[in-house]
Amino acid sequence: MLRIRNIEAGYGSIRVLRKVSLHVNPGEIVTIIGANGAGKTTLLKAVSGLLKTTSGEIRFKGNDITNIPAERLVSLGCVLVPEGRQVFSTMTVKENLMLGATVRYRRDGKETIEKDLERIYNLFPRLAERQGQLAGTLSGGEQQMLAIGRALMSGAELIMMDEPSMGLAPVIVKEIFKTISELRNEGKTVLLVEQNARAALSISDRGYVIETGRIVLQGPAEDLLENRDVQRAYLGRDLDAEVEL
């Protein structure tokens, strides 16, 4: 569904991504894990068109989407839930959700969109209770639900999420990850970027490990969870202490 080949990107003269290649198949949840500053967010920004790539190629459903303007990618069926939620804080929950459907007004008409709004409210009943409230007054977890809901309103098939668990209480994180795995059951494809490697890998089909702008490891999620290097670096397991003498 998504195929990234040898892309490079960065900010000004700083090169962040170095020849990154990866692919996402339809119906998969794929996680990219890596430390702070490894290039995870940069990668999603480059795919979503917020950041220009300097070389390489990105294809989505066979279309070349390298350096496509961000606002056009959404109508092709690929959407990003950005880092830090980025809800429209001065607008109501409902307005936020309806803005997510911007690209569909001409295509689908109002009724389908209203129906989808109901679906989002079923997925996140808390948003239904607060539909008239300003998004800026929601809690962090609710804002994350809103950001995901807004992205889903675009009707996209591929949903990219940048650190959905960032800064949230463990119980909320659990709820968010549960929702993400439910998305797969609805036929959506998810590309996830996470620091919370254990939780993310446990709901994923496959994973990539990114280090200083390079993909250093990839494979099925279970294998990565078992991998000693991954365990040491990202899963917080102290292997040396466990070594039996």
Partner 1 sequence: MSTELFFQYIAAGLTYGFIYAIVAIGFNIIYNTTGIINFAQGEFVMLGSMTAITLNAFMPLPLAILLSVLITMIVGAIMEMLFFRWLESPTVLRMIIITIGLSIIIREIALAIWGENVRALPYFTGNEVTSVSIFGAHISPQVLWVIGICSIVVVALQMFFKFTRYGRQMRACAANREAARLCGINAKNMVTLSFVLSAGIGALAGCVVSPITYSQYNMGVPLAIKGFTVAILGGLGNSMAAVAGGLVLGILESFSVWIMPSAYKDAISIAILLLILFFRPGGLFGRKEELALKEF
Interface ranges with partner 1 (CB under 8 A): 48, 50, 69-72, 74-75, 79-80, 82, 86-91, 95, 98-100, 102-103, 105, 150-151, 154
Rounded Cα gap, residues 62 and 83, in angstroms: 27
Tell me the closest approach of the beta carbon of residue 102 to partner 1, in angstroms. 4
Q: Which is nearer to partner 1, 75 or 195 (CB)?
A: 75
Tell me the closest approach of the beta carbon of residue 134 to partner 1, in angstroms. 10
Tell me the closest approach of the beta carbon of residue 170 to partner 1, in angstroms. 26
Of 175, 169, 147, 152, nearest in space to 84 by CA:
147
Q: Which is nearer to partner 1, 189 or 231 (CB)?
A: 189
Tell me the closest approach of the beta carbon of residue 69 to partner 1, in angstroms. 8
Q: Which is nearer to partner 1, 2 or 233 (CB)?
A: 2
Tell me the closest approach of the beta carbon of residue 52 to partner 1, in angstroms. 10
The torsion of the CA quartet 236, 232, 174, 73, rounded to 10 degrees, works out to 130
Rounded Cα gap, residues 26 and 23, in angstroms: 10
Q: Which is nearer to partner 1, 74 or 93 (CB)?
A: 74
Of 50, 2, 4, nearest in space to 29 by CA:
2
By the 8 A CB rule, do 31 and 201 touch? Answer: yes
Angle between helices 140-152 and 93-100 (to 10 degrees): 30
Q: Which is nearer to partner 1, 88 or 202 (CB)?
A: 88
Rounded Cα gap, residues 130 and 8, in angstroms: 42
